[in-house]
Amino acid sequence: MSRAVLSIGSNIGDRFAHLQSVVDTLGPRVVAVSAVYSTAPWGGVEQQDFLNAVVVAEDSTRSAHDWLLLGRELEAAADRVRVQRWGPRSLDVDILTCCDAAGEVRSDDPELTLPHPRAHQRAFVLVPWLDVEGDGELTVGGVRRRLADLLAELDPAERGGVRRCDLSLSAPTLSAPTPPDASGRRREC
C-alpha cells in the first residue's frame, strides 16, 4: 500500500476541468480532496492566476515512482507543454510526499525528490494541504515540521494570494463535496 499527497494546479484553459480530470482518473484511489483555491502565481513569472488543490490517494501496489509516472500521464493528457520553469501550464501534478509500508519515502533523485523540496515555501500547497491533513507534517531539511507552522512563517502577502473558491472537486468515493466558505458567499476565481 502506498499513500501519496499530490499538489495539482492549472492556469491555462479550463483550469477547473484540468483539476477534475486528475480526481476522475484516480477514481476510487482518492481518499481526500481539498477545497479549490485561486492562487497568485508563485516563482516570479508574470502569468495568470492558478487554480490549486491537494489530493490524497492510496493504491495497494503503486510505488512513489509510479505516482510520478501517473502525474506525467495526466499532464500529457491535458496537453501540457513545458516552455518555462515555473511558467504557465494546463496541468501540474507534483508529488508532495509518499508513504509506503516502510514509512515516508525519502529521495534526493532530481527525477523524483521526496518530500517535494519546495512544498514548504508555497502557500498554494500548504493551504489546501491543511484542508486534508489539519495536523499534517512535512520533513524540511531533515526536520519534521507542522504544516501550520510552515504556513505561518510565510510572507503574509504570499498567504493572502491564496483565496478559497466555491468550486468543489467531486470524487465518487467521498461522501460530500467540500463546502464553500462559512459565509456561503460566492468568491471570484
Ligand X SMILES: Nc1ncnc2c1ncn2[C@@H]1O[C@H](COP(=O)(O)OP(=O)(O)OP(=O)(O)O)[C@@H](O)[C@H]1O
Ligand Y SMILES: Nc1nc2c(c(=O)[nH]1)N=C(CO)CN2
- Give me the residues that bind ligand Y (CB under 6 A), please: 9, 39-43, 50, 52, 86, 92, 124
Q: In the bound complex, which residue of the shown chain has the CB atom lying closest to ligand Y?
A: 9
Tell the smallest beta-carbon distance from residue 127 to ligand Y (Å): 11
Which one, 9 or 136, has the nearer CB to ligand Y? 9
Q: Is the peptide bond before 110 cis (omega within 30 degrees of 0)?
A: no
| Residues that bind ligand X in the complex, under the rule CB under 6 A | 68, 82, 85-86, 92, 94-95, 111-114, 116, 118
Tell the smallest beta-carbon distance from residue 38 to ligand X (Å): 18
Q: Return the H-helix or E-strand segment holding 75.
A: helix 64-77
CA distance 108 to 119: 15
Closest CA to 171 of 3, 29, 6, 14: 29
Which one, 118 or 159, has the nearer CB to ligand X? 118
Tell the smallest beta-carbon distance from residue 138 to ligand Y (Å): 16
Closest CA to 149 of 164, 128, 131, 134: 134
